[in-house]
């Protein structure tokens, strides 16, 4: 049973907004673009691995948590790609979406990727990541006085990945081998260790201490392009509000939805709270009365009165219906 669906990572959402609003001529743009492509590639690989779980036959009493995040004992966010809870064992899965040849070097604790263009890139060793995740779950189970074997694996979701030197501490294999590996684990750990009630307690506690990363880019906010940006143009053209719609200065396309998309960018890059004056300046609306009518029409939750009033931009703002 899936008890935590995989959502698009918050950091990936922030980077999408950032790249829309940072000029391509800024010297920091390539850095954030590379970060975005790497994170997006990993997310696609994780989604691919999620579909593989549908093919695996498991006991009814199990829970799956995708993209689980919580705070460790040092106050850092620990992100785990997949956790499977059963009465027999806990299984932690680290998913990698990498092309080319990969090699593990246990002695140097190094993980290298020989790419198709013969360049070599070095990544954080997934073995160390899995062992860190295991320590996190061990600490949580000690708090609950629940004791289950914890096992981990590294799975490669890209079928073109060539696995060279394999790791010695943690199993690593292609995604196609996940089914047989899970069956192997159920054969190896065939005795029930905890009751279903204890398993549910563990699941509920994990969900209770779920804490998403609130990553923000280290960048001067004054460099970001404000307001409504035309998606039809490739040059980040500004759109002006005119008689209930936004009009592109460059191609004259009309849009209403760009209002919601721009507010989501504001939430991700600036703040989830916005005043009428900030709204007016962000969208370059000349009339305070027009700005007030527009923001009021969204029926956003707010706090404060008159000039001190600020409105809350929810994370599901894109689902709002515009009049």
**DSSP string across 26-66:** STTHHHHHHHHHHHHHHHHHHHHHHHHGGG----SSEEEEE
Asked whether the predicted pLDDT for residue 235 surpasses 80, the reply is no
Whole-prediction pTM: 0.89
- Complete edge-to-edge strand list for the sheet that includes strand 238-242: 228-229, 238-242, 245-248, 254-255
Task: Clarify whether residues 174 and 255 are in a common domain.
Answer: no
Task: Clarify whether residues 204 and 307 are in a common domain.
Answer: no
Task: Clarify whether residues 37 and 176 are in a common domain.
Answer: yes
Task: Clarify whether residues 46 and 118 are in a common domain.
Answer: yes
Distance CA 184, CA 41 (A): 29
Buried b (16+ CB within 10 A) or exposed e, 52-70: bbeebeeeebbbbbbbbbb
Asked whether the predicted pLDDT for residue 109 surpasses 90, the reply is no
Distance CA 268, CA 263 (A): 9
Task: Clarify whether residues 293 and 164 are in a common domain.
Answer: no
Task: Clarify whether residues 186 and 244 are in a common domain.
Answer: no
Asked whether the predicted pLDDT for residue 213 surpasses 90, the reply is no
In a domain, 220, yes or no: no
Task: Clarify whether residues 140 and 244 are in a common domain.
Answer: no
Q: What's the alpha-carbon Rg for the chain, to the nearest Å?
A: 24
Asked whether the predicted pLDDT for residue 122 surpasses 80, the reply is yes
Reduced to 3 states (helix: H, G, I; strand: E, B; else coil), residue 311 is strand
- Contacts of residue 271, defined as CB under 8 A and 6 or more positions apart, other chains included, come to none
Domain end, chosen from 208, 242, 261, is at: 208
In a domain, 160, yes or no: yes
Asked whether the predicted pLDDT for residue 234 surpasses 80, the reply is no
**pLDDT (average), residues 184-188:** 95
Comparing 14 with 108, which gets the higher pLDDT? Answer: 14
Task: Clarify whether residues 39 and 77 are in a common domain.
Answer: yes
Q: What pLDDT does residue 59 have?
A: 77
Q: What pLDDT does residue 69 have?
A: 96
**pLDDT (average), residues 152-174:** 94
Most confident of 144-158, 217-231, 296-310: 144-158
**pLDDT (average), residues 179-199:** 95
In a domain, 218, yes or no: no
Structure tokens at 169: 């501490």
Comparing 231 with 14, which gets the higher pLDDT? Answer: 14
In a domain, 122, yes or no: yes
In a domain, 225, yes or no: no
Residue 297 sits in a domain whose CATH number is 1.10.10
Domain end, chosen from 177, 208, 239, is at: 208
Q: What pLDDT does residue 207 have?
A: 97
Task: Clarify whether residues 248 and 181 are in a common domain.
Answer: no
**pLDDT (average), residues 140-145:** 96
Task: Clarify whether residues 154 and 22 are in a common domain.
Answer: yes
- Complete edge-to-edge strand list for the sheet that includes strand 172-174: 2-4, 62-71, 77-86, 90-96, 150-156, 172-174
pLDDT tens profile 301-313: 999 987 789 999 9
Mean pLDDT score of the chain, rounded to an integer?
Answer: 93
In a domain, 213, yes or no: no
In a domain, 59, yes or no: yes
In a domain, 56, yes or no: yes
Comparing 312 with 249, which gets the higher pLDDT? Answer: 312
- The number of domains in the chain is 2
**pLDDT (average), residues 84-108:** 94
> Which range of residues forms the domain containing residue 309?
230-319
* Percent of the chain whose predicted confidence (pLDDT) is above 70: 99
**pLDDT (average), residues 13-30:** 95
Residue 24 sits in a domain whose CATH number is 3.40.91
Band of the pLDDT at 323, cuts 50, 70, 90? Answer: low
CB-side exposure of 98: number of CA atoms within 13 Å? Answer: 26
Distance CA 35, CA 27 (A): 14
**pLDDT (average), residues 258-286:** 95
Task: Clarify whether residues 237 and 152 are in a common domain.
Answer: no
Asked whether the predicted pLDDT for residue 116 surpasses 90, the reply is no
**pLDDT (average), residues 89-105:** 95
Task: Clarify whether residues 11 and 158 are in a common domain.
Answer: yes
- Residues 46, 8 contacting (CB under 8 angstroms): no
């Amino acid at each position: 049973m899936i008890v935590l669906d995989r959502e698009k990572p918050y950091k990936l959402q922030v980077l999408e907004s950032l790249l829309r609003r940072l000029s391509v001529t800024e010297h920091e743009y390539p850095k954030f673009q590379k970060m975005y492509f790497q994170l997006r590639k990993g997310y696609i690989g994780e989604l691919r691995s999620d579909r593989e779980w549908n093919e695996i036959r498991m006991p009814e009493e199990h829970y799956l948590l995708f993209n689980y995040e919580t705070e460790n004992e040092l106050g850092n966010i620990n992100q785990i790609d997949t956790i499977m809870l059963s009465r027999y064992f806990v299984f932690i899965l680290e998913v990698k979406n990498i092309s080319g040849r990969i090699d593990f070097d246990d002695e140097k604790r190094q993980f290298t990727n020989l790419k198709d263009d013969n360049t070599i890139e070095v990544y954080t060793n997934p073995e160390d990541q899995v062992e860190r995740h295991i320590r996190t779950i061990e600490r949580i189970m000690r708090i609950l006085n629940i004791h289950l074997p914890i096992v981990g694996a590294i799975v490669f979701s890209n079928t073109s990945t060539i696995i060279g030197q394999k790791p010695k501490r943690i199993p690593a294999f292609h995604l196609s081998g996940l089914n047989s590996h899970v069956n192997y684990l159920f054969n190896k750990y065939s005795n029930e260790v905890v009751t279903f009630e204890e398993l549910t307690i563990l699941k509920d506690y994990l969900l209770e201490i779920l804490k998403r990363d609130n990553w923000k880019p280290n960048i001067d906010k004054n460099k970001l392009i404000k307001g409504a940006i035309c998606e039809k143009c490739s040059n980040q053209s500004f759109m002006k509000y005119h008689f209930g719609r936004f009009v592109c200065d460059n191609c004259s396309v009309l849009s209403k939805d760009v209002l919601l998309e721009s507010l989501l960018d504001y939430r991700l890059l600036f703040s989830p709270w916005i005043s009428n004056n900030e709204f007016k300046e962000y969208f370059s609306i000349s009339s305070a009365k027009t700005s007030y009518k527009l923001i009021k029409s969204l029926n956003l939750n707010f706090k404060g009165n008159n000039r001190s009033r600020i409105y809350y931009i929810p994370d599901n703002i894109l689902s709002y219906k515009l009049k």
